[in-house]
Amino acid sequence: MADSLTHEQLVAWLAAFRDSVHEHRDHLTELDAAIGDADHGTNLTRGMDAVMAVVAADDAPDTAAGLLKAVGMKLVSTVGGASGPLYGTFFLRAAGAAGDASTLDAGAVLGMLRAGVEGLAARGKAELGDKTMVDALAPAVEALADAVANGADLATGLRAAAEAAATGREATTGLEARKGRASYLGERSKGHTDPGAASATMLVEALADAVG
């Protein structure tokens, strides 16, 4: 059973997220068109393509922290919009928590994700229930924390995290947006899934796939 995140799996996570963003690009953009400005899919695709170029480079950092930091900086400088600083801050904070290790055990993965999500929530000034990425990511972190506390291995914990993220994403459909462009719609934002929660769920699912 997988009980730690190796460097290869870290790279596989990013590649899986990139592939998922590509595959669901139009879907993300459609979700965004319903309540935002119709560019979430294209912006993330551009950012993750740039990220994979950095990851594949000969001089790519070989520590988890180094790689995550490079990913965060690249997202900040290529994505733009709100998702650039949000995803960028997630990876920069995750890098800060990852330390010098090249392989992260379950507790370290939890610490990394928690730091990333807390940073992202602070940057966006978003709380649970605002109909944002946080609605998928915060439950994912809590599910992983529960699994780790109960002695589950990392793969099992991440699978639970992915399921919690998907549940959180689905719950955004009925919420009224309080942050981002969707908030300008007020009541009319109800009935639409939040595009940020959708892509954030893909991020967690990609990690579960890479480890499992």
User: What are the residues binding another protein (CB under 8 A)?
Assistant: 29, 33, 35-39, 42-43, 46, 76-86, 123-124, 178-181, 183-186, 188
Q: Is the dihedral of CA 101, 102, 108, 112 positive or negative?
A: positive
In the complex, least distance from residue 18 CB atom to another protein, rounded to whole angstroms = 17
Q: Smaller CB distance to another protein: residue 33 or 101?
A: 33
- Evaluate the CA torsion angle 143, 155, 163, 209 in order and state its sign: positive
CB 141 to another protein: min, Å: 21
What is the token pair recorded at 134? 């946080």
Cβ atoms of 51 and 206 closer than 8 Å: no
With respect to another protein, which residue has the nearer C-beta, 150 or 184? 184
- Smallest distance from the beta carbon of 122 to another protein, in angstroms? 11
Residue among 107 and 186 whose Cβ is closer to another protein: 186
**Would you say 7 or 123 has its CB closer to another protein?**
123
Beta carbon of residue 192, minimum distance to another protein (angstroms, whole number): 11
Burial (Cβ within 10 Å: 0-12, 13-18, ≥19) of residue 151: exposed
DSSP characters over 59-75: T---SHHHHHHHHHHHH
